Structure 1
Amino acid sequence: MEVRASGARSGPGSLALALAAFALPLDSAFATGFFINQQSVIGLGRVGAGSAAGADGPSGVFFNPAGLSELGRLEPEKKTWTSFGLQVIAPRSSLRDDGSTAATPGSLGGDVPSGGRDMRNPGDPTPIGNLFFVRRLTDVPAYVGFGITEPFGLKVKFREDWFGRYDAIESSLMTINLGPVAAWELSREVTLGGGLDVQYARSTLTSAIPNPAVPGGPTPATDGKIRIRGDSWAAGYNLGLLLRPTDRTRVGLHFRSPIDHRLSGSSRVSGFTGALSAANGRSDAKAKLKLPSIVSLGVAHNLTDRLLLLGQVERYGWKRSDEVRVRFDNGGADAVRRTGFRNAWAAALGLEYAYSSALTLRGGVRFDETPTVDAYRDTTLPDQKRLWLGLGASWKVAEQWALDFAFAHARIKRADINVERTFFDGTPLASSARVSGSTRSSVNTLSFALRYAF
């Protein structure tokens, strides 16, 4: 990334806000960038297979509102369905330094080791909640629903003296999605659905800035620091279709529109002393966060009265997010950060077995592509291809109550990191840091949900 500064203060501030606008999780849920697909405990048990085909109960509000008509078919005596779910996402990862360097006036412009330790498990276990409500209308063949979800983001925190500190020390992105939906059953074979996505996003990033005046090169003890925050409200929409070509087969198609957030925030630089103390202070800026479109095609087919086969294919339009551009209120030059994101695909296959009228067992396997590319992969999102395995169960404890459980494990391919960050461009203090390393990661997710229908 190149940062052009109109002064010492806007130089590091530009860097920080560019990072903040894309402060993404180290170990997101399902790969495909930083989208959190674990909005259904039933669906997690088969790692997303068949979710667009109306196979996830009330959480169809999120995955395909047209699938809500299946609730009335499975439980025709009921008119209202609710669900509260909680997922705990626990990433495990190690990041190893492979020769990170810095070049500053203090090092006479030559590359010197930037110093810092390797890192293990910078991402703490993170709870993700969701709430769904569905109501069948009495006079027309229609359903209305509402969902509260957290579809994007997680959090990681590194030590302040780790080798990648000039890329990130703390990164977080949180979203809350409010989703009213409706579905209309045109016929026994066709249901249409759609809804709105009203979304709040908040991003925070802390990173280090190398002190260009330190003889011999910067060290963790002499670094400056910048902390930035930004938030935004934005809106999108989603559309769904559910087909029943036979009594045993359902096909669902769902489209979720892209959402563009305009983050407004501030950056604060601290830690510099002496002649560089003028770089300390606060500045305002704005940046766009472009979230992708998502297209899902799901199929559910009853092999027998007890055994259900499910599949799903998903496409994520991450290519539109290949750049982050930050504009500054003080008239400074834009800061531009390339992500190089490409579109990504995911596919899942699962089975469900109705062991009894009260107990259903399920499992699945899933493969996720990553939108990241080798040339731009960094420590905020060192993502790679993943293979998921999931297991789950549902237990109907009473006529109106049911419990869902699920566990999923992902193995992530080794990812290499090799990026350069520049500071104080266009001034005598111009400096750079190259972060080189590798990471190995895995993710475990444990989930449960309580459902109530009447």
Structure 2
Amino acid sequence: MPVSTTPVGGLRLAVSVAALMAVATPSLAETFYLKEQSARGAGRAYSGETADTGVSSLWWNPASIARSGREVYVGLHGLLLDSGVDNAGSTLTYPGGVTVPVTGPLGTGHEGDPIESGLVPNFAFAMPVGDRFAVGISVAAPYNFTTKYEPGAFTRYDALTSELRSGNVGLTAAYQVNDWLDVGAGVDIQYVEAFLSSSLPNLSPLLADGRSTLEGDGVDYGWNVGAQVHKGAWDFGLSYRSEIEHELDGDVNISGLLGPIATGNVASEGTASFTTPWFASASVRYAVNDRLTLNGQVNRVGWSKFDAIRVQYATGGDTIVQDYEDTTGGSVGFDYVANDRVTFRGGVAYDPTPTQDGERTARIPDGDRFLYSGGMSIKATDAITVDTALTYIALDDTTISSDRTFYAGTPAATTSRLRGTADGQGIAASVGVRWAF
């Protein structure tokens, strides 16, 4: 859909945050959410996590620690990504109707590997209090990425650099109701830090572009609840993680605008609010025998909560529609106990994109994806277990289409029509250590 932008601080802040929070990478479960929260879970494509017990499943279900004992988990996921974005006829229309093609440096239309590889850490700790009660704490990075396009890229009026860092601290309590039912609840404290840059067109192709940058951060809160049932060979789990209403306080700088639009060069403060999605998960584990366990999980994600960016600034406000859709994905997998020291895992997951055709920008090169995983756990000692996993992520090819009008409502109105295609794939290597003591 067309997005109207003007060179004023508050509205520019909203556009920046909207774009930033919609960047996708092949390593993500869906759009800007990181699925890499457990090395053990990665080995079976995150199937059965809501029904499994132990501290490494704490992100998925607060009830998982009700009967795990005193335990620490530390994990690290390395993401090696291969992505590309290609021009498919992007244009810029200046005042008076003159339309020119938008290309990259030296007329190229390909941007290779705009999504940077990186590391994702996790930590969790659980401790029993009495016979039936347990408390836990977890640290995760649910939203964490960097994307960089080359200076002068054909995407420049939509995106140059996007960086998002998040830290989520979860405080959890769980209770063993009886010999088959566990319940749990938790509070999330989430910090988000962001940086974004992009180009702004001047009023002639002979003039250099202007530049817009944003830096902002904020801390906000959410909650989660869950339950597990353990009956013979069967384990069932349900969990719900709430949406979080975020508000970023930011500094916006716009420079390099010339001539009639030079008054748009500003350094301003403002806020932009948006809501991240809720997550509902249901999973089952069935022990076929003493060695083989089958796992299945369904995830419903409330992406429609990310419906708009709402802006407040000194002289007014605005709302920018995002129009994401709720999604349903899932995974199946297995655990196979080879002996008393070694367990093998495998799984396949499907995660659909919440973005819609015709509303996908260079900051949202997101498509449906499949995850294919394999892993292994080794008991190094009676107390220490090492989990490893390797996941291949296949992202469907997708189209980019975004119309954007700069300086709308003035004689300087300039329209960017971004058209492109995107593809990607990735490898995630995961390692984690669980220590029961």
TM-score, shorter chain, exceeding 0.5: yes
After superposition, residues 81-120 of structure 1 pair within 5 angstroms as 81-105=71-95, 108-116=96-104, 117=108, 118-120=110-112
C-alpha distance in structure 1 between counterparts of 2:272 and 2:364, whole Å: 18
C-alpha distance in structure 2 between counterparts of 1:160 and 1:434, whole Å: 18
Corresponding position: 1:134 with 2:126: yes
Corresponding position: 1:359 with 2:342: yes
Equivalent residue, structure 1, for 2:16: 19
Q: CA deviation at 1:2?
A: 3.5
After superposition, residues 321-400 of structure 1 pair within 5 angstroms as 321-329=306-314, 331-334=315-318, 336-400=319-383
SS of 2:58 mapped into structure 1: helix
Q: Do the aligned partners of 1:338 and 1:376 also contact (CA within 8 Å) in 2? A: no
Equivalent residue, structure 2, for 1:76: none
Q: Do the aligned partners of 1:123 and 1:155 also contact (CA within 8 Å) in 2? A: yes
Q: 1:252 and 1:265, CA in 2 relative to 1: closer, same or farther beyond 3 A?
A: same
Structure 2: which 5+ residue stretches go unaligned? none
Q: CA deviation at 1:384?
A: 0.9
SS of 1:420 mapped into structure 2: strand
Equivalent residue, structure 1, for 2:214: 228
1:423 aligned to 391, 397, 406, which one?
406
- Give the letter for the 2:426 counterpart: V
SS of 1:140 mapped into structure 2: coil
1:301 aligned to 282, 286, 289, which one?
286
Q: 1:4 and 1:269, CA in 2 relative to 1: closer, same or farther beyond 3 A?
A: closer
Q: CA deviation at 1:4?
A: 5.9
Q: When the two structures are aligned, how many residues end up with a matched partner?
A: 431
C-alpha distance in structure 1 between counterparts of 2:19 and 2:188, whole Å: 21
Q: CA deviation at 1:255?
A: 0.4
Q: Do the aligned partners of 1:32 and 1:345 also contact (CA within 8 Å) in 2? A: no
The alignment yields a C-alpha RMSD, in angstroms, of 1.7
Identity of aligned residues (%): 30
TM-score by length of 1: 0.91
- Give the letter for the 2:427 counterpart: N
Equivalent residue, structure 1, for 2:228: 242
Q: Do the aligned partners of 1:352 and 1:361 also contact (CA within 8 Å) in 2? A: yes
C-alpha distance in structure 1 between counterparts of 2:142 and 2:19, whole Å: 16
Q: CA deviation at 1:319?
A: 0.8
After superposition, residues 150-161 of structure 1 pair within 5 angstroms as 150-161=141-152
Structure 1: which 5+ residue stretches go unaligned? 72-78
Residues 26-35 or 178-187, more deviating: 26-35
- Give the letter for the 1:34 counterpart: F
Q: CA deviation at 1:20?
A: 2.2
C-alpha distance in structure 1 between counterparts of 2:192 and 2:18, whole Å: 11
Could you report, residue by residue, the CA deviation over 1:339-382 in whole angstroms, capped at 9, with x for unpaired residues?
22100111100011111111111000001111000021111111
Corresponding position: 1:147 with 2:144: no
Equivalent residue, structure 2, for 1:198: 189
Q: 1:111 and 1:273, CA in 2 relative to 1: closer, same or farther beyond 3 A?
A: closer
Q: CA deviation at 1:274?
A: 5.5
Q: Do the aligned partners of 1:287 and 1:327 also contact (CA within 8 Å) in 2? A: yes
- Give the letter for the 2:241 counterpart: R
Equivalent residue, structure 2, for 1:75: none
Could you report, residue by residue, the CA deviation over 1:299-336 in whole angstroms, capped at 9, with x for unpaired residues?
1110110101001000000012122232222x1452x4
SS of 2:238 mapped into structure 1: strand
- Give the letter for the 2:25 counterpart: D
Q: Do the aligned partners of 2:13 and 2:272 also contact (CA within 8 Å) in 1? A: no
Equivalent residue, structure 2, for 1:3: 4
- Give the letter for the 1:373 counterpart: Q
SS of 1:51 mapped into structure 2: coil
Could you report, residue by residue, the CA deviation over 1:67-106 in whole angstroms, capped at 9, with x for unpaired residues?
22352xxxxxxx420011011122211111000000113x
Equivalent residue, structure 2, for 1:451: 434
Q: Do the aligned partners of 1:49 and 1:298 also contact (CA within 8 Å) in 2? A: yes
C-alpha distance in structure 2 between counterparts of 1:386 and 1:407, whole Å: 16
TM-score by length of 2: 0.95
C-alpha distance in structure 1 between counterparts of 2:178 and 2:264, whole Å: 66
SS of 1:43 mapped into structure 2: helix
Q: CA deviation at 1:62?
A: 1.1
Q: 1:34 and 1:2, CA in 2 relative to 1: closer, same or farther beyond 3 A?
A: closer
Could you report, residue by residue, the CA deviation over 1:22-46 in whole angstroms, capped at 9, with x for unpaired residues?
4033315343222111100000111
Corresponding position: 1:162 with 2:153: yes
SS of 2:3 mapped into structure 1: coil
Structure 1 or 2: more strand by fraction: 2
Could you report, residue by residue, the CA deviation over 1:213-256 in whole angstroms, capped at 9, with x for unpaired residues?
x2xx367xx11110001211110100000012x21110000000
Corresponding position: 1:187 with 2:178: yes
C-alpha distance in structure 2 between counterparts of 1:387 and 1:376, whole Å: 22
C-alpha distance in structure 2 between counterparts of 1:443 and 1:70, whole Å: 36
Residues 16-25 or 283-292, more deviating: 16-25
C-alpha distance in structure 2 between counterparts of 1:70 and 1:248, whole Å: 17
SS of 1:62 mapped into structure 2: coil
